[in-house]
Amino acid sequence: MPGQPILLKALLRERHWQNYATFCAEYDKVARRIDPDLVRTYPSRAQLHRWLTGSLRGLPYPDHCRVLEEMFPGWSAAQLFQPSSPELIYAGGQAPIGGAGSSGIAGPPVFAAPSVGLRPFIEQAFTCEHIRIDFAGFSGETLHGAIQEPLDKIRIGRIKPESLTIRLLLPDTSRPMALPCRADDLSDDAENRARATRLTARHAHAILDSVHELTGLGLLQKATAEIRAHQCAPLFKLYILNREEAFFGFYPIVRQTVPLASGPHDIYDLMGKDSVVFHHSARSGQPADAAYIEQAQTWFDSMWQTISYEYPA
């Protein structure tokens, strides 16, 4: 897949570790666990730049490789310095070996965070003539981050799909919600809901704006991007790509103090970036995967067509 960033860069970006100081902190966490002598042996800023731009010849020093493989279990150091691709993402999944239709690795792989495995698959989905992405979740934050590069490729003319359809199914944050909620009495928190509304505007609505802009510029001949709302608690996230790939993960519920205009509020909140995501592919060779994707699509379509409604402005 020409032009793809190396896998290490993609994983750092998706875990939000691309900042040099953040990378060093995460590196030291792992180094301290496996060998205290490796603490503060992280690469210099210039070295890290060479790693991430693919200009490194060979592999880093063995101690660096040891820490990196512990930071990203499931991938070898050699794989971390190869161009990112769905095949490499498969290699990082904790999947059994063998199985019908397998080429050595059988699905579905499991990823420690949704964004780790999502971006290469979205980029692959955008190589199709007719692109369809369905998302059900809380705010669309991860999808917004993953979809920007493919949309930019349409903008500069590198890809020219015939059609693009994006549907987002999100909770109605204009009404009281069961989750997120106040930690003291489990009641709805209107001020925190307003914060959730701003989060949705920053991410989900930005996806719509980007698609509409590309259509207005004549770069997409047939494109739709819609948000519909529902009144259910957002307990999980679901991505369906071209009816062939599905990513599913539960939102862990955590207690955290949220700074709001009236002061800090203790909230039971949903942490999407920390959720484990299960990936199912119609091409995995696993019979259950095709059935799972079909049922996930049926669920999404039924929600879209029955109890959802136009997202409140």
Please state the three-class secondary structure of the chain as a single string.
CCCCCEHHHHHHHHCCCCCHHHHHHHHHHHHHHHCHHHCCCCCCHHHHHHHHHCCCCCCCCHHHHHHHHHHCCCCCHHHHCCECCHHHHHHCCCCCCCCCCCCCCCCCCEECCHHHHHHHHHHHHCCCCEEEEEEECCCCHHHHHHHHHHHHHHHCCCCCCCEEEEEEEEECCCCCCCCCEECCCCCCCHHHHHHHHHHHHHHHHHHHHHHHHHHHCCCCCCEEEEEEEECCCCCEEEEEECCCEEEEEECCEEEEEEEECCEEEEEEEECHHHCCEEEEECCCCCHHHHHHHHHHHHHHHHHHHCCCEECCC
Q: Does any domain span residue 97? A: no
Q: Is the residue at 96 inside a domain?
A: no
Q: Check whether residue 176 and residue 115 sit in a common domain.
A: yes
- Quote the pLDDT of residue 104: 39
* Residue 244 covered by a domain: yes
**CATH code for position 162:** 3.30.870
Domain end, chosen from 84, 101, 128, is at 84
Please check whether residue 91 lies inside any domain of the structure: no
Q: Are residues 34 and 158 located together in one domain of the fold? A: no
What does the pLDDT look like over 191-200, one tens digit per residue? 999 999 998 9
Residue 105 is assigned to a structural domain of this protein = no
**Residue 89: per-residue pLDDT:** 63
Give a yes or no: residue 90 inside a domain: no
Domains: count for the chain: 2
Higher pLDDT pick, 286 / 22? 22
Domain match, 165 and 296 both: yes
When pLDDT is cut at 50, 70 and 90, the band that residue 92 belongs to is low
pLDDT category at 106 given cuts 50, 70, 90 is very low
Residue span of the structural domain in which 291 resides: 110-310
Percent of the chain with pLDDT over 70: 88
Band (pLDDT 50/70/90 cuts) for residue 105 is very low
Q: Which of the pair, 190 or 94, is modelled with greater confidence? A: 190
Confidence class for position 298, pLDDT limits 50, 70, 90: very high
